[in-house]
Amino acid sequence: MSHTAQTTDRPLRTLVLGGARSGKSAFAEQLVASEAVRYVATAVADPSDADFAERIAAHRARRPADWTIVEGDAVAALGESTPVTLVDDLGTWLTARLDARVAWESPRGTVAPDIDALVAAVAGYGQRLVLVSPEVGLGVIPATASGRLFRDEIGTLNQRLAQVCDEVFLVVAGQPVRVKPEGVFASALSDAAAMNSSAAPATSAKALDSAAERTAVQPVSAAAAAATVTGSAEGGAAADPGVGAVDSASGTAAVAASGPDTPVLTKPVRLSFGPVQGPDTAIRAAAEERQLQLTKPAGALGRLEKLGNWVAACQGVCPPKQFERARVVVFAGDHGVARHGVSAYPSEVTGQMVANFLHGGAAVNVLARLADASVRVEDIAVDSDTAPEISRHKVRRSSGSIDREDALSEAEVQAALAAGATIADEEIDSGADLLIAGDMGIGNTTPATVLIAAITDTEPVIAVGRGTGVDDAGWIRKTAAIRDAMWRARPVIKDPVALLRTAAGADFAAMAGFLARAAARRTPVILDGVVVTAAALVADQLAPGARAWWVAGHRSSEPSHTIALQRLDLEPLVDMGMRLGEGSGAVAALPLLRAAIATLGDMATFASAGVSTADADVEAAGA
């Protein structure tokens, strides 16, 4: 059968359904085997899971070498067209959305905005597209509320996608059966959809199963973000419905079989962020053109002009709007390595400073009030009890001492990443139009330096600074701890999540999730000093392209900060020898961004002010 034949002028969209190990992925790959394909993998490898790695290796082995592999969210990927795209699979995608919304115990329909966004992206996609999804009726479903929720939501998703796809295949035991012709919408599905949209009551159990469980189309929510949680092999080779029933407290996914005597097994799930599209290039060009019309010589405002253009591109409008809700989020956490003499202050100071933030007495509070920003503090891993309102996302009390043990367990690093992403969502959904990440944690420049030196392959003695002001003996202890932690991190240097788990801490993982999610939500961020920038290095690996949404607020006096800024290709706005953290350097730079917006938006143009341009003077002289 030709897969370019159409009954309409739309490119062909194909949905391939099948149970676990049915051969659905292999069949989908055969449909496009002779073409250059962008392969969107919704699952990410877990290096510690040998079976998981073998399944991914088997998938990769059968793919042509010229295929482009993209790991991340399907909705984000479909925002950029390529001639042929294969998305494999939607079971892990749905698992991610349920986890991101912490919806495993929520009513059916909580992820309806995410399903709407995916269906809309598929319906509007302008190129060849093949989607792979599990048909849960052919798999074992755990007899739990989470299992039933997954079954119901994937059923809704599959039915919605079948309506907008031109053809649908069901793969059973490796044998594909075409269940929908090209370009034809089955009347039964259309009738059921109409019944659902008009809220007609179901009159039988069969009608309830076929129609009333569907979710009506809702407006696409801005909260359909790019983070995904994956618990099966890349490409959905093991997208059983039980995978992804996430215990929010432990960060593990239940994988259960049927039967009263069957034990419930758990395995950590991996949170991954897909590639991030950059700010609007067309709007940036419009801003650059507007700069030429303002009453000043071209380029006379220096970097203020580039900053204004960047903000306009981030906002998608020219001239840009002044920030109305700039938010600083301070991520607080203690580190076990601080017990070994790497800091001039004891760990108790972290909890004491958290209380100071809450009372508005810290430097970042004072600077934020001056810059018209507000401050939020979150206890991610403080080694003491803190106020309930700031400890909702707490992962543990103090991260491990990274020179001799892992900072976190796999479940803890996933919980911290999810916490950061959730915090970003909360702020953006509440109206934040500019975000700043700050840090508070005695000893945190040690893991920051480990991350930066490991990622950039820098010798410890070059990267190590004085932190809170340690003496020579303290500097020697700190350098030795960083050296030992880098040695421990070496085996996982290519895996950003494993690197956070091994050599960072819960606060770093949360900041990385926060920065990656902010970029996915197209929200600009001012980076602070060495600690936040270390987390940003990892976030840019988790969400490639995220750095385009960041600007460096300042340059810290810590040597490793300059190394990290160079790797991110970011030039700091101010360089005042600051090394406090808290977000203070970023907040100090915020007035410069406000000035950049004001000059681009509020200055008069040559035409409106009646001021002659240089070109006009030349023309007058020639006349």
Closest CA to 154 of 176, 175, 132, 170: 132
Taking phi first (over 0 means left), then psi (-120 to 50 degrees means alpha), and beta for anything else, what does residue 365 get? alpha
Asked if 172 and 18 touch (Cβ cutoff 8 Å), the reply is yes
Detail the DSSP E strand segments found in 29-188.
38-41, 68-71, 84-88, 128-134, 167-172, 175-180
Name 583's Cβ contacts closer than 8 Å, sequence gap at least 6: 328, 329, 330, 364, 368, 375, 436, 437, 438, 439, 528, 532
Cα 390–chain centre separation: 22
Kindly state the DSSP code that residue 526 receives in the 8-state scheme.
Answer: E
Residue indicated by tokens 């004491």:
352
> CA 40 to CA 274: how far, in whole Å?
9
**Residue type at position 584:** S
Which are the catalytic amino acids? 582
Q: What length is written for the chain?
A: 623
Cα 535–chain centre separation: 13
DSSP H helical ranges for 521-610: 530-542, 559-568, 584-602, 606-609
User: Would you state the structure tokens that stand for residue 542, as one six-digit string?
Assistant: 């988790």
**Residue type at position 525:** V
DSSP H helical ranges for 198-280: 205-207
> CA 312 to CA 596: how far, in whole Å?
10
> For residue 219, is the peptide bond before it cis, meaning its omega torsion is within 30 degrees of 0?
no
> CA 203 to CA 563: how far, in whole Å?
67
Q: What burial letters (b/e) apply to 463-491, b meaning 16+ CB within 10 Å?
A: bbbbbbebeeebbebbbbbbbbbbebbee
3-state class (DSSP) for residue 272: strand
**Residue type at position 611:** V
Instruction: Tell me the C-alpha to C-alpha distance, in Å, between residue 101 and each of 93, 112, 154, 512, 609.
Output: 13, 11, 16, 18, 51
Give, for 518, the enclosing helix (H) or strand (E). Answer: helix 506-520
In Å, the largest CA–CA distance within the chain is 97
Detail the DSSP E strand segments found in 68-114.
68-71, 84-88
Measured on CA atoms in the order 117, 122, 127, 129, is the torsion positive or negative?
positive
Cα 445–chain centre separation: 24
Instruction: Tell me the C-alpha to C-alpha distance, in Å, between residue 449 and each of 60, 410, 471, 489, 505.
Output: 35, 22, 17, 12, 12
**Residue type at position 551:** V
Torsion of the alpha carbons at 282, 284, 285 and 290, rounded to the nearest 10: 130
Q: What burial letters (b/e) apply to 215-254, b meaning 16+ CB within 10 Å?
A: beeeebeeebbbbbbbbbbbbbbbbbbbbbbbeeeebbbb
